Structure 1
Amino acid sequence: MRNFSQAIATSRQSGFTLIEVLIAVAIFTIGILAVNAMQTAAIKGNSSANRITESSSWASDRIETLIGLNYSDADLDDDDGDGTGEDANNDGTDDDGGNFGLDDTGANADGTSASPDGNYTINWNVAVNYPFPDIKTVNVIIERQDGGTIRTVTMAYMKSNSI
């Protein structure tokens, strides 16, 4: 008899109870759900960063194309005249308050095109003799749709009339 009672006492002292196992599984499940939420947030962040990088790449590509053109090339003209002669008093600000037309997009831009995949609209605007004579300021604006909102990346450079 003695051996039988020792076996029962020993078996009661080892292993996990059902409640302990359920609590451990619940904690593990909460941890897995938290990791899932973090992974989802990371994927969204990476996707957003990728779109911003693509926009910047398209802007850089357009700037490199325009910078390689002659100063008098038609793509570097202020087609609508909103960036030429707008600082009559030479104080460095647009007399009409329009930032020399450098922020125009769509039909108001001096030039526009689309990326080959159609996801990005590339606009550029030119201000002649701004901020100095024989300098063209070119502003490139990349637009993309992001959940019904238009997101933009803007880059500017100046091109001088080389002698």
Structure 2
Amino acid sequence: MADQIETLNLLVGRASSGNPVFENLPVIALGDGKYELRASPGLVLGVAKGDIIEVAEEGAFSVVSRGGNVCVQIFLERPVENLQKIESRLTLALPGSVDGLTDRQLVLSIPVSNGFQKIELCIQEIIANLPGADWHYGNVYDDEKDGTTPLDWWLV
């Protein structure tokens, strides 16, 4: 029997009002408050598809183990017109996946084993066809610290 995919609200942060902001993500429950992410997030930072997380109260979480993927969050000025072209480029250059798409964002998961140089080349080729698009890694830098210090989880 296949694992049952459910959704879980993870804490993104707090709004200026002080209210919590959540992102609802697909997960597989592993028991004891642990979950495997089945897609990379568009807002939550520090995790990617395949990571095992432990969730505490109000959606706060910690990473138990990494799934080996980098999360790429691409911010769009206008909706994607040809998703098949992006998916094709992604699968030809790297074994990656499109995990999320809205009118303003595209979220990708790419195995870190491809190497950052190859990943960044592919992303640059993808956004070259998306006028005004900008991107960043969702789980490569320590955003709680300074946003520029590498997490270095891929070195372990």
TM-score by length of 1: 0.24
Structure with the higher helix share, 1 or 2: 1
TM-score by length of 2: 0.25
